[in-house]
Amino acid sequence: MKVGILGRRSFLHIVGAGALGSFASPARGAEIHDASPMVVQLFLRGGLDGLSAIIPYEESIYFDSRPNIALPMKGKMLAENRLDNRFALHPALSDLLPLYRQGKLAVVLATGLPKVQRSHFDAQDICESGGNDSILEEGWMTRLLADPSRTPRPIDALCIGTNRSRSVLGYPSVLTVPSLNHFSLPGRGKIQERFENALTLMYPEQNSGEAVIDAGAQAMRLLHEMKLVQKAYNGPHRGAVYPKGGLGKDMQTLAELIRQKPALAVATIDSSGWDTHRGQGALQGPLSNALKALGEAISAFHQDLGPEAKRVVIVVMTEFGRSVRENGTKGTDHGHGSFMMVLGDQVRGGLHGTWPGLSPKNLTEARDLRVTTDYRRVLEAVRLRHLNGNKHQSPFEEASLGPGNMNQLFRDRQSVDTNLPTPPVESRP
């Protein structure tokens, strides 16, 4: 079933033509004093094997089910990567440990869709549309942005990449930015000038409701904006070093845009290659390499942003976890529960959620980690507590929300909460 919550009319109401038309006005400088809280959704496509990232090192079933790919957590390695008395971080993610120890990084255990969905594409679409067991017409961020109590900004939604993320589907004004380079029209002199001028006339900002007209107008805005961004860009700040490869480059682009575009409210960024059916490895191997790049990229991003990081919460998510047992090719097949990470200044660092355990009777369909926190519970906590969203304007259908309670995910604003006790992880017998 597809549900369209927003009509075009509501957008015209919410995002008035005035707001959209102001991008080139000198009011740009004014936005800086007006920096808004924002959320970054980092989506790991392919289904991250949560059990290889957050290792339940006390569970013998974990080692029994994975003779070739379990992480041998003990001794010094365990001491260095231990999160608590039951869980440890994959050593490849060690770049995240300082953030975890500073109490800025929360790990929510056993998250996922409330119902089993083992198709990548449906699971991703459901997650990004904020659905329960079916794909909704608009993205979850689209509905979030349409909250009438929010003041829309000229540039408030950004997708890193060539294409729009499903999460902002239906939002009329989205910038998609593949990189910091290649933002000029080819040619020179009079023809180039006329071409650019004519395109601006051809695609006026008007919220037409027709995809190509809106995308064309945003393309011209992108061209203008990115020329300014490029002019002001002088590399990562504070000596941040991003890992080589797509994710590092994309996170670097994102950090710069966050710095220069203080009105951003949501951004999406993707990382692919997590579908580890074969030879995923343990301490070394393709999954370890991918985790290394992930940890380095997040850590560099945080350092690069510096004081700007205060207004940014990053949510790391994936469409599903993988089978508890390794398969016949030293990999893992599509499963159910995985985990999410939430990084931010006001986040209550540590482990959150309920660990369902790995004994067969606690698994979903006797093979997969059970989901004890509906992924939407985490997103909703970020919306309410970080973006100051309206309680009555949830982008998620209340009645369909699955298990989980994320009331503790953020620290209270007023309290000076310095020693940050880790909330106890509940456990099922």
Interaction with other proteins in 352-381: which residues (CB under 8 A)?
365, 367
Taking CB under 8 A as the criterion, which residues in 227-266 touch other proteins? none
Q: Least distance from C-beta 50 to other proteins, angstroms? A: 18
Min separation Cβ 323 and other proteins, Å? 8
* 4-12, 79-87, 140-148, 219-227 -> range binding other proteins (CB under 8 A): 219-227
Using rule CB under 8 A, residue 195 touches other proteins: yes
Which of 18, 76, 85, 162 binds other proteins (CB under 8 A)? It is 162
Residues 38, 384, 411, 36: what is their CA dihedral angle, to the nearest 10 degrees?
30
CB of 16 to other proteins, least distance (A): 20
- Can you tell me the distance from the alpha carbon of 256 to that of 233, in angstroms, rounded to the nearest whole number? 7
CA distance 341 to 89: 12
Minimal distance, residue 41 CB to other proteins, in Å: 16
Give me the DSSP letters along 344-398.
-TTB--EEESEE--SSGGGSBTTTBPPP-EEHHHHHHHIIIIIS---TT--SS-G
By the 10 Å C-beta count (0-12 exposed, 13-18 middle, 19+ buried), 267 is classed as buried
Is 24 an interacting residue with respect to other proteins (CB under 8 A)?
Answer: no
Residue 186 contacts other proteins per CB under 8 A: yes
At residue 134's C-alpha, the angle toward residues 133 and 137, to 5°, is 145
Crossing angle between the packed helical segments 246-260 and 286-305, to the nearest 10 degrees: 20
Nearest one of 309, 310, 273, 320 to 293, comparing CA atoms: 273
Select the residue interacting with other proteins from 12, 27, 185, 232 (CB under 8 A): 185
Task: Return the residue of 210, 412, 417, 426 that touches other proteins, per CB under 8 A.
Answer: 210
Judged by CB under 8 A, the number of residues near other proteins is: 63
Task: At 105, give phi and psi (nearest 5°).
Answer: -115, 120
Give the residue, chosen from 13, 101, 194, 310, that forms a contact with other proteins under the rule CB under 8 A: 194
Binding site for other proteins (CB under 8 A): 45, 67-68, 116, 118-122, 159, 161-164, 169, 174-178, 182-183, 185-187, 190-192, 194-195, 197-199, 201-203, 210-216, 218-223, 272-273, 275, 277-278, 326-329, 331, 333-334, 365, 367
